[in-house]
Amino acid sequence: MNFAYRYRGHDAASLPVHGVVYAASRDFAWSRLKGNRVRVSRVSLDLGATLRNWVWRQFDARDLERFYRSLGQRLANATAAPKALESCRAILRDARLREAVLAMRQQTLGGAELHAAMTFAGFPRRDCMLVRAAEVSGNTPETLRRLAEDVRAQRSLRTATARVLAVPLATFAFLYVFLFVVITVAAPKTLEFFSRTGARMPPFAANYFEFTRAVNEHFAVALALFLAVPVVLAALARTQGAKAMIERLPLLREIAVKAELAGLWNGFAQLLRARIPPAAAALVVRDAARRADTRGWFTRFAHLLQTGVFMREAVVRAGFPPLVAADVAAADESGRVPDELERMVREFEEDVTGLSARLADVMFFASMLVLAMGIVVAFFLSYGPIMAIGLRNV
């Protein structure tokens, strides 16, 4: 588990530097900075950055896109790599990415090639291999531009998915907070009113008000439990069991699979365009897969390619979905594999966008139903005891 440490010091050119470094301990942070040729004067734990790193360990997609595009433009203008990296670092907001770019700059100042500096700084393996091939062929700026476009496409897919979840999450959050307010604010005032009147309470109302009294007498505990429930639910939603239950819904599974395949096959196409052998490209893409099924498909695909099986046959035997197998086989037969794979990727991205829009409509309708049911429950909790007491005392 890595912690975030904020540091100050001087670089190899004796210029002042500061930022955040991620390491398992303070000693490891010092060692990593020393490896980056930074003479450190101060290192301290940054709790906020540590918590953000535990929640999200990847580079910020918007900043990564901006970095790749800016670096490509500067290198195309014949700017030296260390100077280009320093100017790119100034426009980044993601502390983790800023640290990685600083590490790259320090490595290039020491004479390392760009792809080696990227590997040292912790950039994705696929991106490092693409830059390595580009340095051999002399088209590094164009490769970085393609990487920026790939990051933008993947970010757009994730944004579309997030928009789908926004309405139901907002609905549940509103109902959850409203229920807590009813129990802690409305119920005590209602109980106080009926206590003054001396009205007889039916068992339902008595039990309800007894529960609300216990909640308010132990408000600190109730508030802690109230805040802990969403955190626990969010943690459970990240488990494999929860994901397996969610993907039993065909529409959700189709969106998840196609979104992942779009990114992986696009990476495979870019590696082929950089003249990386297909088997090696499949293994690189396999390492980037997050789903067990896609990881298994690319593992078998790479093994079959290593044994000399043609791509059009390997993709079928690897177990890919029929649509993918047909498109890849057609691409292999056409002789323009990268171009045809990129066409397939664009179709997958369009499918994900359309399916996400359909899912958004379904989720909006379901959210409205849940909201209506929540309003009924809130009305029942607010006025049900009052009506029950009134009927009991008629």
Write phi, then psi, for 17 (nearest 5 degrees).
-135, 155
pLDDT at 333 over 80: yes
Average pLDDT over residues 180-190: 78
Q: Does residue 365 share a domain with residue 348?
A: yes
Where a domain ends, among 123, 146, 165?
123
Q: What is the full DSSP assignment across 270-322?
A: HHHHTT--HHHHHHHHHHH--SHHHHHHHHHHHHHHHTT--HHHHHHHTT--H
Letter string b/e over residues 21-59, b meaning 16 or more CB atoms within 10 A of that residue's CB? bbbeeeeebbebbeebbbebeebeebeebbeebeeeeeb
Residues of the domain holding 244:
124-394
Which three-class secondary structure state does DSSP give residue 44? Answer: strand
99, 27: one domain: no
Share of the chain above pLDDT 90, in %: 8
Domain end call among 123, 156, 176: 123
Residues 105 and 140 in one domain: no
Q: According to the model, what pLDDT value does residue 304 have?
A: 93
Do 26 and 64 lie in one domain? The reply is no
* Average of per-residue pLDDT values in the chain: 80
Contacts of 353 (CB under 8 A, 6+ apart): 157, 160
Give the H/E segment covering residue 116.
helix 114-121
3-state secondary structure of 265: helix
List residues bridging with 10 in a β-sheet: 16, 39
Q: Report yes or no: 320 and 296 within 8 Å, Cβ to Cβ.
A: no
Phi, psi of 344 (to 5 degrees): -60, -40
* Number of domains making up the chain: 3
DSSP SS3 for 160? helix
Between 205 and 343, where is the model more confident? 343
Q: Specify the 3-state DSSP secondary structure of 45.
A: strand
The pLDDT assigned to 296 comes to 92
Confidence of residue 392 (pLDDT cuts 50, 70, 90): low
Q: Given this model, what pLDDT does residue 55 score?
A: 58
Do both 99 and 224 map to the same domain? Answer: no
